[in-house]
């Protein structure tokens, strides 16, 4: 009977310590400021090459204005391929 009582007391102490540790870490985490992503706050809008589907920043792309719409290409090969396909259709 005494052994059961001692085991129960030890179990209660261990549970209380565990609960206190979990609550202390939860409280500490709630007091911290939310993390902000490092780096630029805004991303760069990407454009898509209509021939191969590659996404790239407009500053790195080759552009072609067609019927009032600006198209962006990743390379001269894609731009030329697009131009050839347009002349073949017309």
pLDDT at position 87 over 80: no
Alpha helices, DSSP H, located in the chain: 2-31, 76-89
Q: Is the pLDDT of residue 84 over 90?
A: no
Q: Read out DSSP for 6-18?
A: HHHHHHHHHHHHH
CATH number of the domain to which 81 belongs = 2.30.170.20
Give residue 66's pLDDT: 85
Please report whether residue 13 resides in a domain.
Answer: yes
The tokens describing 2, both together, are 């005494």
Integer angstrom CA distances of residue 56 from 11, 12, 14, 59: 60, 60, 57, 8
The reported pLDDT for the residue numbered 5 is 93
pLDDT of residue 29: 78
**Do 70 and 54 meet the contact criterion of CB atoms below 8 Å apart?**
no
Kindly report, residue by residue over 9-64, the tens digit of the pLDDT: 999 999 999 999 999 888 887 787 666 666 555 778 899 999 999 999 988 899 88
* 81 domain-assigned: yes
Assess whether 59 and 84 both reside in one domain. Answer: yes
Domain interval for residue 22: 1-30
Count of structural domains within the chain:
2
Q: Are residues 25 and 57 in the same domain?
A: no
């Amino acid at each position: 009977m005494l052994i059961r009582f001692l085991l129960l007391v030890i179990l209660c102490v261990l549970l209380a310590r565990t609960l206190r540790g979990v609550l202390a870490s939860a409280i500490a985490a709630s007091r911290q400021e939310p993390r902000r992503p490092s780096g630029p706050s805004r991303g760069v809008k990407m454009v898509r090459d209509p021939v191969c589907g590659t996404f790239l920043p407009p500053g790195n792309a080759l552009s072609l204005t067609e019927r009032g719409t600006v198209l962006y290409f990743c390379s001269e090969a894609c731009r030329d391929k697009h131009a050839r396909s347009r002349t073949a259709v017309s």
